[in-house]
């Protein structure tokens, strides 16, 4: 499910968006900064301050996570079932370690949202459909102009 390309996008994405809904199907979407994959079918998200997401998962464990590479403007939407791993649960240390290893333990991680992935869909900016001749490099350059940023030397090396 979570193949090499999806892992690359996870590694290069700044945020993911966790979509949940409660028992009455009222939707909620929340940005998450600390997320990674555990293996080829499991996504881990740090719960730092997400009481609505946590309550919704308790009522309805079906979730969707979306993330895009901000410059390439492509990414993935992952659907699955979530469970909450609390600090006092067996396995919490094992689940939180990949998150703190990648990011930091500076923020108080209240629990870990563990998602078993059931479905994967690619997503991309509409301009790829409207202008199929456009390349990823064109999208990167266009996004950099739009956001008024310039690549560093390290970024240029990775794009070659």
Domain count, the chain: 2
Query: Do 75 and 115 belong together in one domain?
Result: yes
What is the 8-class DSSP label of residue 158? H
pLDDT of residue 154: 56
State the Cα–Cα distance between residues 45 and 34, nearest whole angstrom.
6
pLDDT of residue 51: 95
| Pairing assessment for the beta strands 62-69 and 74-86 based on DSSP bridges | antiparallel
Query: Do 144 and 87 belong together in one domain?
Result: no
Query: Do 118 and 133 belong together in one domain?
Result: no
pLDDT tens-digit profile of 68-82? 998 899 999 999 999
pLDDT higher than 70, residue 136: yes
pLDDT tens-digit profile of 114-131? 999 999 999 999 989 999
State the Cα–Cα distance between residues 11 and 137, nearest whole angstrom.
19
Query: Do 83 and 41 belong together in one domain?
Result: yes
pTM above 0.85, yes or no: yes
Alpha helices, H only, 77-160:
92-102, 126-130, 136-147, 153-159
């Amino acid at each position: 499910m979570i193949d090499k390309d999806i892992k690359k996008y996870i590694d290069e994405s700044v945020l993911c968006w966790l979509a949940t809904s409660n028992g009455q199907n009222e939707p909620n979407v929340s940005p998450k900064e600390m997320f990674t994959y555990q293996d080829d079918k499991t996504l881990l998200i740090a719960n730092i301050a997400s009481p609505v997401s946590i309550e919704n998962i308790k009522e309805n464990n079906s979730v969707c996570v979306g993330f895009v590479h901000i410059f390439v403007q492509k990414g993935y939407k992952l659907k699955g079932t979530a469970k909450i791993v609390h600090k006092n649960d067996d396995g919490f240390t094992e689940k939180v370690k990949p998150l703190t290893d990648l990011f930091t333990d500076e923020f108080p991680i209240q629990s870990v949202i563990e998602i078993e992935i059931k479905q994967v869909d690619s997503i991309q900016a509409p301009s790829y459909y409207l202008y199929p001749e456009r390349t990823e490099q064109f999208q990167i350059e266009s996004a950099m102009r739009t956001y008024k940023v310039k690549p560093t030397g390290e970024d240029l090396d990775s794009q070659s």
